[in-house]
C-alpha cells in the first residue's frame, strides 16, 4: 500500500463537473488500495478574480486582509471536493492549511513554511479516509492566516508529501507534464519524461509556472519524487527527481547508463512576462554606488533578477545601471529610489514594464561551446532585438520586447531542435492566466 499525495490545480477543478471528475479519480486511487491525501487549488481563476476584486476596493490592499480573502478560494474547492468524494461512497474530510498544520512565518503574501505538523491529516488517513487540504495557505505563530505566494498549492503538496513520508507527490494540471516550452505558446513542444531537481529549479525560476519554484526547492531538499501529469488524461507525465535515471514505475527497468550519458544538453525554453525593468540613469561611477542602490532596492522588498551596468562615459564619469524585478515590486522600489535621489546622485529613473524574458535551460550547456552564438543567431534571424543578457552554468536568459517574446520562444525552440516530430502538445483546459 502506498501513500500518495495528489495536488489538483485550479483548471482541474474549475466547475462542479470537473470537481466530480477529479473526485472519481481520487476515489479510484483510494479503492486501488492506496492512502490518499489531496491538496486542492481554488477553482479556475478564482485567485486572480479575488485579486481584481480587492483592486477595485483599493490599489494597495492591506496584506493581512488580502491573505484572508485569497485563502477563501481554496476553502470553496476543498469542501466541494470532499462532498463529491463522499458522494461516491468514499469517506473524505477537508482541512484548511491551519488545521492541516502548515505553520509559516508572518510574511503575508509570500509566507515561508517553518514547520509541518499534519496530525489531523495523518489521523484521517489512518482511519481509512481521504484527507483534502486547502493549498497555498498556512498560519503564522501569531495565528494569522498566510499565503505561500502564487502557485503555492504545489508547495503545500510537496511539503505534506515530505511531512507524511509519502511515496510520491502527483501534481495534476491541464497539460501532460513538463514540456520543452509552454505548450500554449509552442504547440510543437515535447513532453520531458524525466527532469532533475536542478533543471526543474532553473526552468521554474525562469518562469515555467507548471511547477512553483519553491515546491521544487522543497522537493529537492527532502528528496520528494514529484510526478507532474494531466488530470484530463491517464498519460504518464514528467518525473522530477534527483537524477535522470529513476523510473516512475518501480518495476520498470532502470534507464541504461548510456541513455543518461546522452541526456539532452538542453531541457527547454522558459519565458516570463512578470518582470519590469528599472534603469538608474547617470550614476557616479565610484566604489559603493551599486552597493547603496541595491541596499535601497532590497529595503523596498524587491526581488531583483538581472542587473546590467554600462561602461561609464569617460568625459562624465557617469554610468547607467539597469535591473529587472517583478511588476508587483516596482511601485515600492521606484518610490524608495526617488526618495533618495540626492543621496544616490543619479540623474533620473526610467521604468519599462513592456519587457519579456526568455531562458534557455539545460545541464551541461556550459561545457558545449556555441550555445550562446546559436541562440543569438536565431534571434537575429527572427529580427528580435536583445536588451539584456545573463548566464549561469545551466541557463542563458535574454530580455526582449514583450510583444516579441512568443516569436522569440518559438525561434529558439526550433533552433535547438526541440520541436516534436509527433504532433501537437495538448492543452486540456485553463485560461493560461
Note the residues at the interface with ligand ASP (CB under 6 A). Answer: 9-10, 41-42, 47, 73, 135-136, 150-154
Half-sphere exposure of 242 (CA within 13 A, CB side): 5
Nearer to ligand ADP, 174 or 305 (CB): 174
Task: Please tell me the total number of residues recorded for the chain in this structure.
Answer: 433
Give the residue with the Cβ less far from ligand ADP, 25 or 93.
25
Rounded CA gap, 385 and 370, in Å?
19
CB of 430 to ligand ASP, least distance (A): 11
Chosen residue from 268, 279, 365, 408 binding ligand ADP by CB under 6 A: 268
Pick the piece of the chain touching ligand ADP (CB under 6 A) from 162-170, 173-181, 218-226, 324-332.
173-181
Binding site for Mg ion (CB under 5 A): 9, 151
Nearer to ligand ASP by C-beta: 151 or 163? Answer: 151
Q: Which does 210 bind (CB under 5 to 8 A by kind): ligand ASP, Mg ion, ligand ADP, none?
A: ligand ADP
Q: Is there binding between residue 432 and ligand ADP (CB under 6 A)?
A: yes
Q: What is the closest distance, in whole angstroms, from the C-beta atom of residue 128 to ligand ADP in the complex? A: 28
Q: How far is the CB of 272 from ligand ADP (least distance, A)?
A: 10
174 binds, among Mg ion, ligand ADP, ligand ASP, none (CB under 5 to 8 A by kind): ligand ADP
Which residues have CB under 8 Å from 50's CB, separation 6+?
A: 42, 69, 70, 72, 73
Q: Name which of 208 and 404 has its Cβ closer to ligand ASP.
A: 208
3-state secondary structure the chain: CCEEEEEECHHHHCCHHHHHHHHHHHHHHHHCCCEEEEEECCCCCHHHHHHHHHHHHCCCCCHHHHHHHHHHHHHHHHHHHHHHHHHCCCCEEEECCCCCCEEECCCCCCCCEEEECCHHHHHHHHCCCEEEEECCEEEECCCCEEECCCCHHHHHHHHHHHHCCCCEEEEEECECCCECCCCCCCCCCCECCEEEHHHHHHHHHCCCCCCCHHHHHHHHHHCCCEEEEECCCCCCCEEEECCCCCCCCCCCCCCCHHHHHCCCCCCEEEEECCEEEEEEEEEECCCCHHHHHHHHHHHCCCCCCCEEECCCECCCCEEEEEEEEEHHHHHHHHHHHHHCHHHHCCCEEEEECCEEEEEEECCCCCCCCCHHHHHHHHHHHCCCCCCEEEEECCEEEEEEEHHHHHHHHHHHHHHCCCCCCCCCCCECCCCCC
Q: How far is C-alpha 25 from the geometric centre of its chain's CA atoms?
A: 25
Which string of x and - marks every residue 294-323 that binds ligand ADP (by CB under 6 A)? ------------------------------
From residue 3 to residue 42, the character string flagging contacts with ligand ADP as x (rule: CB under 6 A) and all else as - is ------xxxx----------------------------x-
Binding residue for ligand ADP, selected from 110, 184, 292, 366, defined by CB under 6 A: 184
| Residue 178 binds: one of Mg ion, ligand ADP, ligand ASP, none (C-beta under 5 to 8 A by kind) | ligand ADP
In the complex with Mg ion, the residue whose CB is nearer, 40 or 266, is 40
Question: Counting contacts by CB under 6 A, is residue 360 touching ligand ADP?
Answer: no
State the nearest-atom distance from the C-beta of 399 to ligand ADP, in Å: 18
Sign for the pseudo-dihedral over CA of 42, 139, 166, 218: positive
Least separation in angstroms between residue 227's CB and ligand ADP is 14
Nearer to Mg ion, 9 or 237 (CB): 9
Q: How far is the CB of 42 from ligand ADP (least distance, A)?
A: 9
Q: What residue 95 binds from ligand ASP, ligand ADP, Mg ion, none (CB within 5 to 8 A, per partner kind)?
A: none
Give, as ranges, the residues between 129 and 158 that touch ligand ADP (CB under 6 A): 151
Binders in 196-255 for ligand ADP, by CB under 6 A: 208-210
CB of 147 to ligand ASP, least distance (A): 8
Which residues make up the interface to ligand ADP (CB under 6 A)?
9-12, 41, 151, 173-175, 178-179, 181-184, 208-210, 268, 427, 430, 432
Amino acid at each position: 500500500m502506498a501513500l500518495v499525495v495528489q495536488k489538483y490545480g485550479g483548471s482541474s477543478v474549475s466547475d462542479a463537473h470537473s470537481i466530480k471528475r477529479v473526485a472519481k479519480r481520487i476515489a479510484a486511487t483510494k479503492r486501488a488500495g492506496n492512502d490518499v491525501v489531496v491538496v486542492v487549488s481554488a477553482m479556475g481563476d478564482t485567485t486572480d478574480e479575488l485579486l481584481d476584486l480587492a483592486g477595485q476596493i483599493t490599489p494597495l490592499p492591506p496584506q493581512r486582509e488580502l491573505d484572508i480573502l485569497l485563502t477563501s478560494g481554496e476553502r470553496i474547492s476543498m469542501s466541494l471536493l470532499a462532498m463529491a468524494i463522499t458522494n461516491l461512497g468514499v469517506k473524505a474530510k477537508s482541512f484548511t492549511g491551519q488545521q492541516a498544520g502548515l505553520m509559516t512565518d508572518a510574511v503575508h503574501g509570500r509566507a515561508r513554511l517553518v514547520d509541518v505538523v499534519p496530525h489531523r491529516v495523518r489521523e484521517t488517513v489512518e482511519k481509512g479516509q481521504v484527507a483534502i487540504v486547502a493549498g497555498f495557505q498556512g498560519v503564522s505563530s501569531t495565528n494569522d492566516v498566510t499565503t505561500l505566494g502564487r502557485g503555492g498549492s504545489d508547495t503545500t503538496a510537496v511539503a505534506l508529501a515530505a511531512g507524511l513520508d509519502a511515496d510520491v507527490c502527483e501534481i495534476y494540471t491541464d497539460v501532460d507534464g513538463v514540456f520543452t516550452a509552454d505548450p500554449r505558446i509552442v504547440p510543437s513542444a515535447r513532453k520531458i519524461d524525466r527532469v532533475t531537481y536542478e533543471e526543474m529549479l532553473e526552468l521554474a525560476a525562469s518562469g515555467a509556472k507548471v511547477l512553483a519554484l519553491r515546491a521544487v526547492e522543497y522537493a529537492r531538499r527532502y528528496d520528494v519524487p514529484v510526478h507532474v501529469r494531466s488530470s484530463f488524461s491517464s498519460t504518464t507525465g514528467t518525473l522530477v527527481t534527483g537524477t535522470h535515471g529513476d523510473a516512475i514505475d518501480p518495476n520498470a527497468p532502470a534507464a541504461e547508463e548510456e541513455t543518461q550519458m546522452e541526456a539532452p544538453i538542453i531541457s527547454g525554453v522558459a519565458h516570463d512576462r512578470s518582470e519590469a525593468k528599472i534603469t538608474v540613469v547617470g550614476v557616479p561611477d565610484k566604489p559603493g554606488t551599486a552597493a547603496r542602490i541595491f541596499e535601497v532596492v532590497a529595503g523596498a522588498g524587491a526581488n531583483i533578477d538581472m542587473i546590467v551596468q554600462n561602461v561609464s562615459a569617460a568625459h562624465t564619469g557617469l554610468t547607467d545601471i539597469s535591473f529587472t524585478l517583478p511588476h508587483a515590486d516596482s511601485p515600492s522600489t521606484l518610490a524608495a529610489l526617488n526618495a533618495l535621489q540626492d543621496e544616490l546622485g543619479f540623474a533620473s529613473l526610467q521604468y519599462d514594464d513592456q519587457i519579456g524574458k526568455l531562458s534557455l535551460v539545460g545541464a551541461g550547456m556550459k561545457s558545449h561551446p556555441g550555445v550562446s552564438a546559436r541562440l543569438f543567431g536565431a534571434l537575429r534571424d527572427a529580427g528580435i532585438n536583445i536588451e539584456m543578457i545573463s548566464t549561469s552554468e545551466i541557463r542563458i536568459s535574454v530580455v526582449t520586447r514583450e510583444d516579441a517574446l512568443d516569436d522569440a520562444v518559438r525561434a529558439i525552440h526550433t533552433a535547438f531542435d526541440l520541436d516534436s516530430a509527433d504532433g501537437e502538445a495538448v492543452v486540456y483546459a485553463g485560461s493560461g492566466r
